[in-house]
Amino acid sequence: MDKLNEFIEVAGEPGAYARRIRASGRSVIGYYCSYAPEEIIHAAGLHPVRLFGTGGDSGIADRHLQAYCCSLVRGALAESLTGGLDYLDGTVFPHTCDSIQRLSDIWRLNTGHGFFADVVLPVKLTGESARQYLIDVLQRFKRDLESYFGLTVTEESLRSSIRIYNTIRSCLNEIYELKSRNPGLLTGRELFSIVRASMVMDREGLRDKLQALLRELREGVPGRDGRGRRLMLVGNACNHPDVYDLIERSGGQVVWDDLCTGTRWFSGAIREEGDPVASIAERLFERQVCPSKHKSPTARGEHLVAQAREHGAEGVIFLYLKFCDPHSFDYPYLKGYLKDAGIPSMLLEIEDTLPPEGQILTRIETFTQMLGPETGAALTGASRTGREG
Ligand code: SF4
Ligand code: SF4
């Protein structure tokens, strides 16, 4: 499918794309976490870009960070210190996990990427005071951007950005739904590339390209039909398209995810009426939480079980970066929660560099074989929710 080519290209070289944006005269603001209020950055006429880390040697970062920081954070700092982020005009750090907070301090003191903001979101996303506090934090972030870049973020520009982001998020959601109904419509690697590139591309152009891709996918693509064990991928940020290839080689298909570089980035629409900053805050407040935020002791478990059931997932693969405390602490309870719901799971702990593929392949194959014989019901799990297969 030709319409996939640009997504695959940008996902493979996000830095090269960001440099082209900057060369066109737009300032580029990087972020590492899906709690970043991108809509405000976009409404300011700046270009938000998700940063993914080097994926390579992060030795230089060890001078500044403790060895127990996750490889994403180490890779992020290494990329900056070795000049790989020369296109940045600023960076935004939402207040989330401890590693990101440590990175934020070290970043401010040791890198020179212009604008810098800690967006100190509440940890507990419940109650009216937390809701109001979140709105205040976003208002302050807007003022910081205005004062640093000497611009005004108008209500109209915020509303326009909200509409663009709502369309992008709804397109991505529908693309996921289409893959859930027909897992062979897109490979996991293609889906990964679409979401990853969406975090990098010019958002107006992206909206149009996603809509065009969606029109083609809705028609169905001859020869793109596929089955396999229906699996859900759950974890932090995934930087490894190879994982999807290995799952497919093991007879599996990722039919849904709960990843920071997946549904957690695009789930939830923003109300288009009322005060725009309050509406942006409302989405962050109501959105499915990651383990560095708190809604209730069982919110994540309930969400995972509901998503797995809705998409007919026969099993869940937890894909965690090593030394990721928030996700590791959540794991025993989530595993138990899924087990009680009759949904088997396995854990893959990786670093930014994958171990030899044979090791992972064997583990995933063992898991898919353990799921027992394939059944028609499992293969058409999405249709159990009333959708057409
Ligand atoms: S898992 Fe949570 S804290 Fe970590 S990067 Fe994703 S949204 Fe941010
Ligand atoms: S992988 Fe875990 S520790 Fe690392 S930045 Fe994401 S949430 Fe934080």
Spans of all domains in the chain: 2-148, 158-385
Ranges 40-54, 92-106, 131-145, 174-188: which has the least confidence: 92-106
The model's pLDDT over 127-149, given as tens digits with 9 standing for 90+, comes to 999 999 999 999 999 999 999 99
- Please give the average per-residue pLDDT across 81-85, as a whole number: 92
Which pLDDT belongs to residue 388? 32
Confidence label for 380 from pLDDT (cuts 50, 70 and 90): very low
- Please give the average per-residue pLDDT across 313-333, as a whole number: 93
For all residues of the chain together, what is the average pLDDT? 91
The answer, yes or no, to whether any atom of ligand 1 lies below 6 A from the CB of 93, is: no
Share of the chain above pLDDT 90, in %: 72
Architecture of the domain delimited by 2-148 = 3-Layer(aba) Sandwich (3.40)
Pocket of ligand 2, beta carbon within 6 A: 70, 72-73, 97, 99-100, 236-237, 292, 321, 324, 326-327
Q: Are the beta carbons of 276 and 159 closer than 8 angstroms?
A: yes
Which pLDDT belongs to residue 55? 66
Strand partners, 347: 318
- Please give the average per-residue pLDDT across 265-292, as a whole number: 94
- Atom of ligand 2 at shortest distance to CA of 69? 3
| For residue 208, pLDDT beyond 50 | yes
- Could you tell me which of 79, 89, 100 has the C-alpha nearest to residue 34? 100
Ligand with smallest separation from the Cα of 267: 1
**Distance (Å) from CA 322 to ligand 2 centroid:** 9
Nearest CA to ligand 1 atom 8: 33
- Please give the average per-residue pLDDT across 77-102, as a whole number: 91
User: Pick the residue with more confidence: 68 or 182?
Assistant: 182
Nearest CA to ligand 1 atom 6: 260
Residue 142 φ/ψ, nearest 5 degrees: -60, -45
Which pLDDT belongs to residue 246? 94
Same fold, 2-148 and 158-385: yes
Distance of CA 122 to the CA centre of its chain: 20
CATH 3.40.449.10 is right for the domain spanning 158-385: no
Distance between CA atoms of 269 and 39, rounded to whole angstroms?
12
Confidence label for 223 from pLDDT (cuts 50, 70 and 90): confident
Nearest CA to ligand 2 atom 6: 236
Nearest CA to ligand 1 atom 3: 96
The model's pLDDT over 363-377, given as tens digits with 9 standing for 90+, comes to 999 999 999 777 544
- Atom of ligand 1 at shortest distance to CA of 260? 6
Which pLDDT belongs to residue 375? 56
Burial-class residue 71 by CB neighbours within 10 Å (0-12, 13-18, 19+). Answer: buried
Which pLDDT belongs to residue 286? 93
